[in-house]
Structure 1
């Protein structure tokens, strides 16, 4: 913005100076040449002003496109890891395991139904004797699960697309940035629980863009922006799968 103001001031001073020069000091024959120079100078400075205005606009547009591509990878990775954990009870520690899991394994299709059965232990504790129907005694509610079939993980999570095969890298035009993934475990209430974290370097993702604006992006602190130098999903010290991006780039819950 300061640069824009400076350009405007310079434009005004140049225009005023040249006008005075033409009117007071130059012969009529030279006025045409000076007028052409005036128009050229005005056009050049107008171009500089336009460029200074458009630079942050173009940066924001390109930044948003790259962030959206990165966040889509994170969302797909989260979906794949949750599916893996459903079957294996832990998160996959390599991308190869995730791809193999999606390509080869299946989810069970389970039905659930509520029912009541005789609470034998409670009846015994109260010295209640019942017949086979349990009449006059206590009952307890239970949930009966039945497996009625199976569906492939790929059809369930990534039907009609193969994005899962490149979860380890963000690709946008000629930019390719690796996704760094780590797994671990934490202890909560004497229970060992799995955790994982994925990280994408913002500087690598925004390579080639204006360096001054990129430096500002790394320092941003705003709930509507991605704060810090990295795009992250999950944590190695907390039980969370939340991303650090705002919802305008995609779901982060």
Structure 2
């Protein structure tokens, strides 16, 4: 009888140990896949922010039209201007003396670089996926928003400054779709999550901003991914 009880206890311990192992292993797998997906989503958000910044520099405003943004990326050019600070004595008519003045000289206008190369570099299929977050073969669209506010500067009601802003968002549960539902629920409620919101976003719907709502953990993971890609590229040459 004692031997049977020992065998039962051993079997029970083994079974419990197996389920504990599976539970821990499942959580680790979820965490790794979650971070991989966050990295993909954040990379798309960073591409969006840079594209919007360049678009505004050329057009004077942000856009919420993905087709217009992709057309600009595909066909736009940007110029780099090298400026040099200098100084010289200039005769001051009011003071009737020579005074030192600082000024900037435009020294060189560098040949234009395509907007596409500036944003994506050598990443393949980047423009095709732009504006979407690919998850398990399905592309989830990033929601775009762009607008502006007019505000009065000082006491002069005619001195109005227009602030442009944009925002890109995607629901976090769409990025995590297909994973364990219980673990997704925990992640959505976790206030220590790398994304402390129901959405992953960049920009703002009320003020000029190019910031995102993800933690430095995601930034570090994304940088590690880029470093690995560069290493593979160097080895392939």
TM-score band, normalised by shorter chain: 0.7 to 0.9
Task: Report what 2:126 is aligned to.
Answer: 163
Q: Following TM superposition, by how much is the alpha carbon of 1:68 offset from its aligned partner in structure 2, in angstroms?
A: 0.9
Q: Which has the larger radius of gyration?
A: 1
Q: Following TM superposition, by how much is the alpha carbon of 1:186 offset from its aligned partner in structure 2, in angstroms?
A: 2.5
Q: Following TM superposition, by how much is the alpha carbon of 1:93 offset from its aligned partner in structure 2, in angstroms?
A: 2.1
Q: C-alpha distance in 1, partners of 2:41/2:109?
A: 37
Q: Which has the higher contact order (CA 8 A, sep 6+)?
A: 2
Q: C-alpha distance in 1, partners of 2:68/2:144?
A: 12
Q: Which moved more, 1:197-206 or 1:148-157?
A: 148-157
Task: Report what 1:69 is aligned to.
Answer: 40
Task: Report what 1:23 is aligned to.
Answer: 2
Task: Report what 1:49 is aligned to.
Answer: 20
- 1:76–1:164 CA contact under 8 A, matched in 2: no
- 1:167–1:179 CA contact under 8 A, matched in 2: no
TM-score for the superposition, normalised by structure 1: 0.72
Task: Report what 1:154 is aligned to.
Answer: 116
| Residue ranges of structure 2 left out of the alignment (5+ in a row) | 154-159, 223-237
Q: C-alpha distance in 1, partners of 2:87/2:12?
A: 89
Q: Following TM superposition, by how much is the alpha carbon of 1:149 offset from its aligned partner in structure 2, in angstroms?
A: 3.1
Q: C-alpha distance in 2, partners of 1:207/1:151?
A: 38
Q: C-alpha distance in 1, partners of 2:103/2:62?
A: 30
Q: C-alpha distance in 2, partners of 1:84/1:227?
A: 29
Aligned residues: 212
Task: Report what 2:165 is aligned to.
Answer: 195
Asked if 1:245 is matched to 2:214, the reply is: yes
Asked if 1:204 is matched to 2:167, the reply is: no
Divergent runs of 4+, >6 A = 34-38
TM-score for the superposition, normalised by structure 2: 0.77
Match of 1:180 among 129, 136, 143: 143
| Residue ranges of structure 1 left out of the alignment (5+ in a row) | 1-21, 25-30, 129-135
- 2:63–2:145 CA contact under 8 A, matched in 1: no
CA RMSD of aligned residues (A): 2.8
